[in-house]
Amino acid sequence: YYYNTGDKRITYNSGNNFPDNPSDSFSISLLVAPRWSGGSGNNVFLDIRDTSANTNNRVFVQYHRNNNRIVFNRRANAINFRQQWSIHDNSSVTGISSSSTKFDVNNGNKNSDGFTHLLFTYDGSGTSSNGMVKCYWNGNAMGSPLFNDSKSVFAFPLMDELCINGNLHNTNGTLDTDYDMIQIYDKVLSSTEISDLYNSGTPISAEDVGIDTDLVFEDRAESATGVDETGDYSFVSNNGATVTAY
């Protein structure tokens, strides 16, 4: 199964165990399948925030279409801690070599069902975003990071909401995207663990791959009502649907 969002969002009430201090490490892993072609705007794949109405405290990962970049942002007390990677400058990893060739249903290295595995690591022991934050595309590290923001000194308040396929970045986001196997860990995953979670493009649960220690959220996209396998996040709504795959 996977989530067929159809331009809608899946929402959870966040649990109490998302790493809230700037020195707390974490990793985000998810399979994404862009179903759009052409168009404009930015797609926020995953967004964890303190309130649905406030953008001052949030962690999100997104595709920025105009710049053709993958984006990570840990925004605390309205201060951004960013990292971005140009998709076309990482052509050996992404399969896209031109800024005019966008990451959409027709382009980019994907599995046979159109999914790309994206994994982000945040190393809380570092001092700046150039080194603290890394992105892996189908198990391969993306190079040439574009930002070098200083490490934030601000902790998060209680993070109240987790949103898959959210759109709080701009008014043109929330493009039609499918999702599978969304996982959050409160540690930096090793290169071996990253490769194992990629699993040659086949979705695999933390339990099945044997990487369930330090897991703080996992949605396997097996139910239209949404289930966090850790039991810490409570499902709120799903305006999309699940469809059988694999």
Q: Tell me what pLDDT residue 110 has.
A: 96
Mean pLDDT by 10 residues, the chain (246 residues): 76 80 96 80 84 80 92 93 97 96 92 96 95 97 96 85 70 69 97 98 96 94 87 83 51
Q: Tell me what pLDDT residue 170 has.
A: 47
Q: Tell me what pLDDT residue 176 has.
A: 79
Spatial distance between the Cα atoms of 124 and 77, rounded to a whole number of angstroms: 17
Q: Tell me what pLDDT residue 173 has.
A: 45
Q: Tell me what pLDDT residue 172 has.
A: 47
Q: Tell me what pLDDT residue 194 has.
A: 98
Q: Where are the alpha helices (DSSP H) in the chain?
A: 91-94, 129-132, 191-198, 206-209
**156: which DSSP letter?**
P
Q: Tell me what pLDDT residue 169 has.
A: 46
Handedness of CA 42, 48, 51, 54 (dihedral sign): negative
Which of 138, 156, 161 minimizes the C-alpha distance to 217?
Answer: 161
Q: Coil, strand or helix: which one is 200?
A: helix
Q: Tell me what pLDDT residue 105 has.
A: 87
Q: How many CB atoms lie within 10 A of CB 100?
A: 7
Q: How many CB atoms lie within 10 A of CB 114?
A: 17
Q: Tell me what pLDDT residue 40 has.
A: 58
Q: Using a cut of 0.75, tell me whether the model's pTM lies above it.
A: yes
Q: Tell me what pLDDT residue 165 has.
A: 84
CA end-to-end span of the chain, whole Å? 7
Q: Tell me what pLDDT residue 157 has.
A: 79
